[in-house]
Amino acid sequence: MTTIAIIDDDKQFSEAMSTYLSGRGYGTRCFISFLEATRYFSRKVDVILIDLNLGDGDGMELLKKVKNQNVQVKVIIMTGYDSLPKRLQSFALGADDYMKKPIFPSELEARIRRLVKKDLPVKSNNHLNDKLYTKEEQQILSLLLFAAGIPISLETLTERTERTKAAVYTCVCRLKNKVQQKYVIKTAYGRGWYIESIVGNEHFPL
C-alpha cells in the first residue's frame, strides 16, 4: 500500500484529502504542524504533501529536512500563493511536483500515481500504433488510460508532453476523433479530461 503524509495546518483540508485518498486505497497520515511532522519521518512513507505556509515553520525547511533523511521519498509542494521563484526553489531542493490551491482531489491522486510509477510504459497495442498517432497523442492517451477515469488537468498534460496548452488542447481534440471506436474521452470542466468508458466492453490496457 502506498503511504501518504499530508502536512498542512488547515485541518479541514487535510482531513478532506485524507478521506478521499483513503477511499482510493492509500494509507494516509495527517499532520497540522512542522514539529509534529518532523517527528514522523523516521517511519516509512512513499509520498509527502507539504504546505509551504505552516503555522510553526517553513515548508521549504521541512522539504530540506525530508530530502536529507530520505532522498527517494516523493514530495508534492502545495501553496495558495504561487510564484515562479518559490516553484524554482522547491524544485532545487528536491520537490517532485508543485500544486497551487485550490487542489482537486482527483488531480492530486493522478499526480501521486504519476510519481509512484513515474516511468509509464507505452504499450505496443494497436491504439498506440506509431502510424496512427503522433508522439504527443501516444503520451496523452497513455496518461488518460493509466488514470483510469480520473481527470487529468491541462497543466499536467502540458508538463508531461512539454507542449503549449494550445497544442495539448488541439491534440486532445484530435484524439477524441481517432479513438472514438474504442474509447470515450470526456471533459471534466475546470479539471481536465478523462476516459469515461470503453466502447465494446473492453478493459483498460494499463
Report helix, strand or coil for 166.
Answer: helix
CATH code of residue 153? 1.10.10.10
Say what the pLDDT of residue 125 is: 43
Verify that 103 and 185 share a domain, yes or no.
no
Domain boundary among 82, 116, 150: 116
Q: How many domains does the chain have?
A: 2
Verify that 90 and 186 share a domain, yes or no.
no
Verify that 13 and 93 share a domain, yes or no.
yes
Position 42 pLDDT exceeds 70: no
93 to 21, 185, 186: CA distances (angstroms): 26, 37, 37
Verify that 136 and 111 share a domain, yes or no.
no
Verify that 47 and 96 share a domain, yes or no.
yes
Range of the structural domain that residue 65 is part of: 3-116
Say what the pLDDT of residue 116 is: 85
CA 145/CA 50 separation, integer angstroms: 28
Verify that 100 and 171 share a domain, yes or no.
no
With CA atoms as reference, report the closest residue to 100 among 75, 76, 79: 79
| Chain segment 110-146, per-residue pLDDT in tens | 889 888 875 333 343 444 555 678 888 888 887 787 6
CATH code of residue 101? 3.40.50.2300
Position 7 pLDDT exceeds 90: yes
Domain boundary among 69, 95, 116: 116
Provide the angle, in degrees to the nearest 10, between the axes of the packed helices 135-147 and 165-178. Answer: 80
End-to-end CA distance of the chain: 19
Say what the pLDDT of residue 122 is: 38
Question: Can you tell me the mean pLDDT for 45-55?
Answer: 90
Residue 203 falls within a domain, yes or no? no
Residue 131 falls within a domain, yes or no? yes
Position 4 pLDDT exceeds 80: yes
> Facing residues of 195 across strands?
185
Computed on alpha carbons and rounded to an integer, the radius of gyration of the chain in Å comes to 18
Query: What percentage of residues in the chain have a pLDDT greater than 90?
Result: 23
| pTM above threshold 0.75 | no
Residue 204 falls within a domain, yes or no? no
Residue 10 falls within a domain, yes or no? yes
CB 24 within 8 A of CB 109: yes
Verify that 93 and 61 share a domain, yes or no.
yes
Give me the amino acid identity at 88: L
Verify that 183 and 112 share a domain, yes or no.
no
Verify that 151 and 111 share a domain, yes or no.
no
100, HSE (Cβ side, Cα atoms, 13 Å): 9
| Chain segment 57-110, per-residue pLDDT in tens | 889 999 998 888 888 889 999 998 888 888 899 999 999 999 988 888 888 988
Say what the pLDDT of residue 148 is: 61
CA 1/CA 175 separation, integer angstroms: 33
Most confident of 11-15, 43-47, 151-155: 11-15
Residue 176 falls within a domain, yes or no? yes
Residue 121 falls within a domain, yes or no? no
Position 46 pLDDT exceeds 80: yes
Residue 205 falls within a domain, yes or no? no
Position 198 pLDDT exceeds 50: yes
Say what the pLDDT of residue 71 is: 82
Verify that 107 and 36 share a domain, yes or no.
yes
Q: 142 CB contacts (<8 Å, ≥6 apart)?
A: 120, 121, 122, 123, 128, 206
Verify that 24 and 103 share a domain, yes or no.
yes
Confidence class for position 197, pLDDT limits 50, 70, 90: low
Verify that 97 and 12 share a domain, yes or no.
yes
Between 188 and 148, whose confidence is greater? 188
Residue 86 falls within a domain, yes or no? yes
